[in-house]
Every structure is written in C-alpha cells, then in structure tokens.
Chain A
Amino acid sequence: MITSFLLRSLDRSIVTVVAILLGLAVAIPALNLLTAPDHPLHVPTYLVSLFGKYLTYALLALALDLVWGFCGILSLGHAAFFALGGYAMGMYLMRQIGARGSYGNPMLPDFMVFLNWKELPWFWQGFDMFWFAALMVVLVPGLLAFVFGWFAFRSRVNGVYLSIITQAMTYALLLAFFRNDMGFGGNNGLTDFKDILGFNIQAPGTRAALFAASAVTLALCLVLTTAIVRSKYGKVLVAVRDAESRTRFLGYRVEHIKLFAFTVSAMMAGIAGALYVPQVGIINPGEFEPGNSIEVVIWTAVGGRGTLIGPIVGAILVNGGKSIFTAAFPEFWLFALGGLFVFVTLFLPKGVVGTVSAYLARRKAHRRAADAENARDNLVAEPMAAE
C-alpha cells in the first residue's frame, strides 16, 4: 500500500517538475526578451546563460543518478562523457567559424593553422553538418561507455574498483586532450564560437533559445529515466543494485542490464555537455578533471540519489550556492563544498529530496493510520475494510 502510495506521489511530483521545467523554458526567455531592461522582472542575458548552465549540470546529475541511484554503479568519470559531448558540439561550432578566425583560413580552425597543419584531420570530417555533430554528441560518449562498460561489467569489476577505473579513464582523457597533437586544441580547447545553426551565439535570442532547449531536454530526459526505472527493466536494475549476486543467480544477465543503464546514462551526459558548451562559450580539457566528476556525485548526493528529482534539485542548489559563494567569499567556497560533502554523507544520506519525501510519506502514513483508527472508533459495528 505504502509503496504504491509513494509511487503515486512521486508520479505527481515528476509531473510537477516537468511542468515547472516547461514553464521555465517559456517564462525565462520571455522575461529576458520581452521585458525592458529596467523592468523589475527582467532577467538579464548573463543570468539566462547561467541558469541554462545549471540545467545542463542538472541533466548530468540526472544521468549519474540513473547509474548510481538505481544501479549502484558509482561512476567517477561522468564528467568525461559530458566533456566528450561538449567537444563534439565544440567541433561543430568551430567549423561554423569558417574564415572568420584570426588566421582567416576557411578550412582549418585557428589552432590548426597555428600548429602548421595542412588539412583537416579525418576525425574532424563531417562536423560542419549539425546533424552529424548531434549524432556524435550521443554516439561518442555512448560508444566509449559501451566499450568501457562491456569490458568492466563482463569481468565483474564492481563497486570501488569500478569507481577507481572510471576515474582513471577520465584522467587518461584529461591528459590526452591536453596534448596538442590530439587535434582538439590542446590546453586552450575550443572557443571563440560565432554561430550555431546560423544564429549568432552571443545574441540574447540564441541564448534564450539555448536555455529553452536545455529545459525541454532536461524535462524529456526526466520522463525517459522515469519510464526506464518504472519499467520491468527498472525493477531488475534496482535488484542488481541491492543484490547483484542474487539477481544473477535468478538468471538475469547482470552485465547486460548494467551496460544498458551505463550507456544510456553516458549518452545523456553527452547531450548535457553539448548543451553546456554553446552557453559557456568554451570547452577545454579542464572539464575532464577527476574532481569535476566527483562534484557531480555530490550534486546527486545532496539532492538525493535514487529519486530522479533529487539530482536536479541538488545540481541547481549546489551550483547556485557556488555562484553566490565564490562571488561573496571566494576563500570559503572550498570549505563550504568540503563541509557539504561530509555533512551530506553523514547526516543526509538520502539527500534533500529523499529526506523530505520520506518525511512526507511517514506523516501521511501516520495520518492514514490515525484516520483508520478514528474510522474504527466511529464505526465499531461495521466490518473492517481489507487493508
């Protein structure tokens, strides 16, 4: 009874969150574009981009929650998938610059001219087309996750070991992307973008559209993940999380189940990265920092792992806090973030959303019990309804 009750309340909350996101997708761009700059409700363009960034972080956290919250895979390399998606988008944006770069070369991005390259490397081919880049945004992280996961889950690399090798993966990518020879701009990464789909990337209208796209994508992904975890497959996923060996003994191919979740999650992270890059205007190897991946974990943990809404709330809370803190007391941000890590793991293991919904559920259950009691007192003669 209580489980189904909880599920129904979660259902309602998911719908609410989706509605809020869609509302934001309309409201923020409208407040930005349609109101005058001195209007009290006006949202400046930089804030639109900032909120858009939070939403892409939220999408990344949501992706992590799918594997960590529902499958027990603590990936410390999700920022790598995010960055790969970002690089794919960055490559498209670089190709859109065309001859407007500092060197004015119509074929080659500036850094390649600088490195004296004569022609576009093979892996840059096709990135001048948006559909191709969009495909790569999903395919590259997905493929990496598939290959990596296929090896890892097949040989039953579990728990802590998996966390550490995912960390090694993102660290290796970090080192690799720092190299100039890789052909991704080395240290400086990709920046100085001009156009996206023919629109000026700096224009308020484009910014607002990107924000709306982020919000809508987040809402879609939320619905998708909810559908996944509510399905039969989702039940097995949770079973793998809670008793992996037992699930295997029951005849499920645990490695396939994990692999599917891991790959879908990496694709979502890639999409998040692709939405992130045009809004911040740069992608560089720093995004692969192992520390970034761990930060994603803390967003998810703060919001509440295994709740789907939690990571969205957590990512927005922590990053909003970060923006405010680093502006007001830059010295103390790391103290605050570090303290948050300790506090959440010690005192808030279910996260904000998990704790609140558990409290609500308990109170409702309590009230129900009280109601039932009252009903019994009042209608002593009547037979009890079956619970």
Chain B
Amino acid sequence: MYRILQTLLITLCLLVSAHVTGLRAADDLSALVNALGTAKLSELDDRIEALAKSGDPRVIPVLEALGEGNLYARKTDGSVYLATEKGGSFVLVDPVDGAQAGEVPKGELQKIKVNNSVRRAVRSALGGLTLFSTDAGARLKAAQSMRQTPNADALEAIDKALATEKDGAVRKSLDEARAVTLLISDRSDDDKRAAIKTLAESGGREALGVLTSALSSADASLKPDIEAALQRIEQAQVFWNAGQNVWYGLSLGSVLLLAAIGLAITFGVMGIINMAHGEMVMLGAYTTFLVQDVIRTSYPELFDWSLTIALPLAFLVTGIIGLAIERSVIRFLYGRPLETLLATWGISLILQQAVRSIFGPTNREVGNPSWMAGAFELGGLTITWNRLWIIVFALAVFAALLFLLKRTSMGLRMRAVTQNRRMASSMGIRTPLVDALTFALGSGIAGMAGVALSQIDNVSPNLGQGYIIDSFMVVVFGGVGNLWGTLVGAFSLGILNKFLEPYAGAVLGKILVLVLIILFIQKKPRGLFALKGRAVEA
C-alpha cells in the first residue's frame, strides 16, 4: 500500500513539475541562469541541477560556457552573460536567447568561478540535457552513455525525454537506459520488474552484465525475475551466436566462391587443372596494390574509387596473362589433364618468384576505402562492411558469369566446345579461339577475386597458395562443370567450417571438413551436382 502511494505521489509530482516547467519557460530560464551569477561555489551544483531539470535545450550552451569558463556575471545587477574578449573590453551575449547585449569594459564583469566538482556537475547535467538536443545522433549518443554509466538521478530526465522522443532508435536506447537506471534506483519492485523485462528483451552481453550485477544486490522477491531474464538472454545469445556463425560461414563461403569461381570455368568447363589459378588471384591483389599506390601518390582524392578502378584493370591484367599462358603452354596439353597440372604448377612457381623478385617477399599494404571500413549492428550480429561487400560482389560475379554462359552467344560457344569439341568445330566454331578466351575469362575472374581478397587478406606472393586447395575442394565438391554446384559448394563448405570451428577449433575444423570431402567424393565421385551424359566419360 505504502509503495503504491509512493509511486502515485512521485508520478504526480513529476507530472506537475513537467507541466509547470512547460508553462513558465523563458522568464524562469533567465532567472535560473541569472541565479548562477549570485551563487557561491558551493551552491553552484544545486543551481546547475535546477537548470538541468528545466530540460530546456537552450540551457545547453549556457552550461557548456560555464564548463569552459566563458560565463560572466555583471557586477552591478548580477545578470549573467556569455562574454568574449575583444581588446580591453568584453562583447556580451545574452546566454538564453543569444541576443547581443553590448560591450562593457573588463572591470564590470566577474567570471563565474568553477572547480572540478562543478565541472562534473556540468558534465552530468549536459549528459541529461543532450537527451533533448534537436540532433537525433546526439540524443542517441546521450542515451547510450547513460545506459553505460547509469545514474539514478537522471531517471526523471530520461522519463521526460521518453515522453517526447519520436525517433525509434533513440527511443529504444532510452528505454534500455531507463531500465538500467531503474534497476539501481529506489523505485518500486513493479517498476524494476518492467525494467528487467525490457532488458531481457533487448538482450546482448551488456544486459547480461547489468542483470548479473543486479542479481547480487536485488531483493529476494526480484531474484526469480532476474534469473528468468538472464536465462532468456542466454537463450537469445545462443540463437544470435548461431546467426553469427551463419554470417561468418556466408562470409567464408563468399571468399571460397570468389576464389573458386574462376577455377569452375577453367577446371569445370574446360577440364584444365590450373594450378596457377591461385597466382592469378595474387596478381589481382597486386594490381590493387599498384593502383592504390599510384592513387596515394598522385590522386589522393580518388582513394575511395581505387577498388572500382582496380577491378577492370585486374581483370585485364590477369586475363591477358591467362591468354598468354593458354597460347604458349596449355593449348599443347589439351586432353592430358595431369600434364596440365604439372605445367601450370611450374607456371605458378615462376609467377610467385617473379612477384617476390619485383615486390619483395613481405606483405604489401592495401587499404580499405571508407565505404568498406567499419561495421554495423543487426540485432545481436556485428556485420562488417567489407565482408558484406565481398558477399555482394561474389554473388554479382556469379550472376554475371551465369548470364554470360547461359545467355550470350559466347557462352553458347563455350558450352558447345565443352560438350563436344569436334561437333562444335564442324559447326564452324573456332575452338582454339574459344579455348583461349575461356581460359582468359577464368583467369580474369580470378584477378577480380584478388581485388576483393586484397581487402581481407595479406597481399603477399603466397596469397594464392592459401586458396588453391580450398578452391579445388569447392569445385570438386560442388560438381565439376556446374556453376550452381560451385555456389552451393562454396557456401555449404563455408558454413560447415564455421559451425565446426567452435567445437573442434579452427585447424581441426578444417581437417574435419577435408576428411568429410574426401569421404563425400567416395560416395559421389562427381560432386553434388554431377554432369550427366557422354561428356562425363570424356
């Protein structure tokens, strides 16, 4: 009974005070501000609090000026001004409405002295006040800081801010701040229960921490509630962890897809074991490095465009190198896949050593453009922009390639040559040209993958080596000669890997995946999506 009465009373008081403050805004504000001028140092804290309680956004510049020591009181009437020094005199500005208030000689003003305790009061008052700032970003920041360092006195300010807040994100943050603050305040248990519920809904590690610390000091009647909330949050965490694993898996899958998709063309479509594929990826990454190097020294303002510029360049560079390799070596080895393997391995050694001789054996720095840096939160997930872009990019490359193969005359020729070389040839398709272009295409795509991978991996001569076995696994697992298989293979291997990792550790997880693939190939020797028909036996 007593508690209910108390609650009622407090609510009533709040309502009244809010109402009253609303009514007598401007004049009272001036009075409150002027009160600062006459206050002794020990009284300042109370006056600041009074100002802060007004909840008026115009208080903010006043308090900021006070904190910085720019607030002066006129000796004659004790009224308070913002003053800036100009020659031997001060230019006065009315702190409340910002109007010019003339110039006075130095002697007429006295600075309102502040010490550390006052500054602290100013800061905390400002924290509460920025809740009423017109800038939503500032309000959000204020709410978040109040959540991290809750202060029971700020509860009223939060309540007031909540009453007027319209921005969804700020409201949510405020709600959480209120709940955290409530828990340490002396409000009723019912209020606290509601707060616990709010926290349980918001979830996250922080709420878990707040509730855990609240559990030790809480009343016995509240404990079951807190425990239930903790359990709920932990369950939610399990869910979000799974979500995070899926996300990491998708991210890894997109990297695998990028690395493997060029191989899906050269190996899958043409049947060439291109061991130099990884080096094409590496060359693409080095192209990015070169582009960024030129941009840094000559056109720094273009830095955000560096990847956009590097993409077509990398495609061209690696495409041309691929073309050269096909014309000079691989075309003599068609129909002898194992020999191609050896020859391209040799080429990969040469390319690696060439890059090592030119650029040195150490890692080269490739920067992230601003639109790829940073991260954002999605529920309980942290999603970094570069990973997101790489997923988008991988899917875009995949779609483009699929379009090229299935919807263009070039793609038709490629497929025709793959399926029946002699028949295609007798239909007038120039098979050697198609071979060369297909290989160049596969290499070019590897180069573009290199541009993307330069953003998340070390750019060194060994970059490609790390991807070659994984890419082969993806292509073989997905089914040779089938782009969709590569897509499914890449993402399922990525996700499988990330789900095994927490239980088995990164290395053992990878080993398990390899063993699973080896076993899988025993079961389905031609991969998930096997080509059917005579082409298989070729």
Contact = CB atoms under 8 A, between A and B. Distances in A.
Nearest to B272: A160
B348 A338 contact: yes
B39 interface: no
B273 A338 contact: no
Query: Which of B338, B347, B356, B517: most chain A Cβ within 10 A?
Result: B338
A186 B144 CA distance: 47
Nearest to A344: B342
Interface in B373-389: none
A157 B514 contact: no
A175 B507 contact: yes
Given A156-B525, A161-B525, A338 B514 contact: no
A345 B339 contact: yes
B115 interface: no
A149 to B, nearest CB: 11
Contacts of B511: 172, 175-176
A124 interface: no
Contacts of A158: 525
Contact of A164 (B332, B357, B472): B472
Given A168-B514, A179-B508, A342-B329, A301 B353 contact: no
Given A156-B525, A172-B511, A338 B350 contact: yes
B346 interface: yes
Contacts of B353: 331-332, 334-335, 338
Contacts of A152: 521-522
Secondary structure at chain A's binding surface: helix, strand, loop or mixed? helix
A331 B350 CA distance: 11
A297 interface: yes
Given A175-B507, A290-B469, A297-B342, A346 B332 contact: yes
B522 A151 contact: yes
Contacts of B510: 172, 175
B350 A334 contact: yes
Interface in B329-379: 329, 332-333, 337-343, 345-350, 352-354, 356-357
Contact of A155 (B352, B476, B522): B522
Interface string A279-322: 00000000000110010011001000000000000000000000
B519 interface: yes
Interface in B119-143: none
A165 B329 contact: no
- Majority secondary structure, B binding face: helix
B402 interface: no
A128 to B, nearest CB: 29
B345 to A, nearest CB: 5
Contacts of B348: 338
B517 A338 contact: no
A210 interface: no
Contact of B514 (A74, A172, A301, A334): A172
A121 B270 CA distance: 49
Nearest to A245: B537
A130 interface: no
A337 interface: yes
A277 B477 CA distance: 36
Interface in A264-280: none
A152 B357 CA distance: 41
Interface residues of B, number: 43
Given A168-B473, A168-B517, A337-B349, A178 B507 contact: yes
A179 B507 contact: yes
Interface residues of A, number: 44
A163 interface: yes
B515 interface: yes
Contact of A165 (B346, B356, B521): B521
A330 B367 CA distance: 32
B525 A160 contact: no
Given A164-B472, A175-B511, A331-B357, A155 B350 contact: no
Contact of B346 (A148, A164, A338, A349): A338
B345 A341 contact: yes
A339 B346 contact: yes
Interface in A114-170: 148, 151-152, 154-161, 163-165, 167-169
Interface string A166-207: 011101100110110000000000000000000000000000
B530 to A, nearest CB: 11
A334 B352 contact: yes
A341 B342 contact: yes
A285 B457 CA distance: 24
Contacts of A151: 518-519, 522
Contact of A167 (B342, B349, B465, B469): B469
A24 interface: no
Contacts of B519: 151
A337 B346 contact: yes
Contacts of B515: 172
Nearest to B523: A155
Interface in B522-538: 522-523, 525-526
A340 interface: yes
A4 B438 CA distance: 46
A300 to B, nearest CB: 10
Contacts of B347: 338, 341-342
Contact of B341 (A163, A169, A346): A163
Interface string B461-492: 00001000100110010000000000000000
Given A157-B522, A331-B353, A338-B345, 20 more contacts: A151-B518, A156-B525, A159-B337, A160-B271, A160-B273, A160-B337, A160-B341, A161-B526, A168-B514, A171-B514, A172-B518, A175-B514, A176-B508, A179-B508, A294-B342, A297-B342, A338-B348, A338-B349, A341-B346, A342-B346
15 contacts: A151-B519, A155-B525, A159-B337, A161-B476, A165-B517, A168-B469, A171-B514, A175-B514, A176-B507, A176-B511, A291-B465, A298-B342, A335-B349, A342-B347, A342-B350
Closest 9 CB pairs of A and B: A341-B346, A338-B349, A338-B350, A334-B353, A172-B514, A338-B346, A345-B343, A342-B346, A155-B522
Interface of A: 74, 148, 151-152, 154-161, 163-165, 167-169, 171-172, 175-176, 178-179, 290-291, 294, 297-298, 301, 331-332, 334-335, 337-342, 344-346, 349
